[in-house]
Amino acid sequence: MKRREFLAALAGAAISPAALAQSVPLERLLESATRGAPARPGRVKLELPVLAENGNAVPMKVTVESPMTAADHVKAIHLLSERNPVRNMATFHLGPRAGRAVVASRVRLAGSQRVVAVAELSDGSFWYDVAEVNVTASACMDES
Amino acid sequence: MAARIQVPAEARRGEVIEIRLLVRHPMETGYRVNERGQTIARNAIRTLTCTYNGVEVFRAELSPGIAANPYLQFTTVAESSGTLEFVWVDDAGERAVERAAIRVVE
């Protein structure tokens, strides 16, 4: 077994059964945020490290291209997880008073997965970006 | 529930300022077990709101998917001198308030 495979197996085995969730198709994740409305890729930039040694605190930054004026702004950014027990990790409500549509935080990831950021614009359109993160030590373990 | 808040003390009117917030909170997932084998109840910050002179400029709905001692960074436009107020509530119903003053110059 290669070292990489071994580490992947180790990370997979470390998740407690309660926290082990089946991954959800991207379409289903998007629907949960858009309430059925279509979402298009683009305008959103979700930045997460490609490799995270520890899933307990992974730096995350999301930027949406928007003038952030009263007529054209980002209303909300939904942060979704493909494999965490709680799919909707966070929702950030913004408005023209934000000036810029940039939010950063640190997230917990229960294993390697895709993270999705969906932006809800004032014109009712939805845009998204996906980031794939490889997590060597997952969150939701006993010592997390 | 204490927090460290970074807001510039002074800004020009119309300037986009960056706000950084580090809240002390365990963000309990509800999946951890204590040394006696009992599940530790979920307790995460549910909402965190930032108002600027009484007007909401940012609101976050959080979950245990956000790391313990949540860090949040966002922006707002410096409009007038006054107070930025940060209010957050967790699953246990605990509510905390922190304030930061800002001086806006022309």
Model confidence pLDDT, tens digit, residues A27-54 = 999 999 999 899 999 999 999 999 999 9
CB neighbours of A79 closer than 8 A, spacing ≥ 6?
A: A60, A62, A88, A89, A90, A91, A92, A107, A115, A116, A117, B65
CB neighbours of A110 closer than 8 A, spacing ≥ 6?
A: A15, A19, A20, A21, A55, A81, A83, A84, A85, A138, A139, A140
Q: Which DSSP helix (H) or strand (E) runs through B60?
A: strand B55-62
Domain that holds residue A30: 3-15+24-137
- For A83-123, how does the pLDDT look when each residue is reduced to its tens digit (9 = 90+)? 999 999 999 999 999 999 999 999 999 999 999 999 999 99
Model pLDDT, residue B36 = 94
Of A19, A86, A98, which is closest to B75 when you measure between CB atoms?
A: A98
ipTM: 0.95
CATH number at residue A123: 2.60.40.2470
Does the distance separating the beta carbons of B66 and A106 come in below 8 Å?
Answer: yes
Alpha helices in A1-144 (DSSP H): 3-13, 26-34
Q: Is the pLDDT of residue A5 over 90?
A: no
DSSP state of A19: G
Q: Is the pLDDT of residue A20 over 60?
A: no
Q: Is residue A129 part of a domain?
A: yes
Model pLDDT, residue B1 = 55
Of B57, B60, B66, which is closest to A108 when you measure between CB atoms?
A: B66
Q: Is residue B33 part of a domain?
A: no
Q: Is the pLDDT of residue A1 over 80?
A: no
A66 is written with which tokens? 């928007």
- Mean pLDDT confidence for B55-81: 97
Q: Is residue B46 part of a domain?
A: yes
CATH number at residue B90: 2.60.40.10
Q: Which DSSP helix (H) or strand (E) runs through A62?
A: strand A58-64
Are B25 and B60 contacting, i.e. CB atoms less than 8 angstroms apart?
no
Rounded Cα–Cα distance for residues A79 and A17 (Å): 24
Q: Is residue B99 part of a domain?
A: yes
* Shortest alpha-carbon distance between residue B31 and chain A (Å): 6
Q: Which of A8-12, A126-130, A133-137, B1-5 has the highest mean pLDDT?
A: A126-130
Model pLDDT, residue A22 = 72
User: In a 3-state reduction of DSSP, which class is residue B80?
Assistant: coil
Amino acid of residue A82: E
- Give the number of domains in chain B: 1
CB neighbours of A67 closer than 8 A, spacing ≥ 6?
A: A73
Q: Is residue B36 part of a domain?
A: no
Q: Is residue B23 part of a domain?
A: yes
Interface test with A, best of B15, B31, B76 (most A CBs within 10 A): B31
Q: Which residues of B touch A139 (CB under 8 A)?
A: 29
Q: How far is CA B98 from CA A19, A72, A84, in A?
A: 33, 31, 31
Rounded Cα–Cα distance for residues B8 and B94 (Å): 28
Q: Is residue B34 part of a domain?
A: no
Q: Is residue A142 part of a domain?
A: no
Model pLDDT, residue B3 = 92
Domain that holds residue B81: 3-28+42-105
- Give the number of domains in chain A: 1
Does the distance separating the beta carbons of B61 and A140 come in below 8 Å?
Answer: no
Of A94, A106, A107, which is closest to B58 when you measure between CB atoms?
A: A94
Q: Is residue B35 part of a domain?
A: no
A4 is written with which tokens? 């990489």
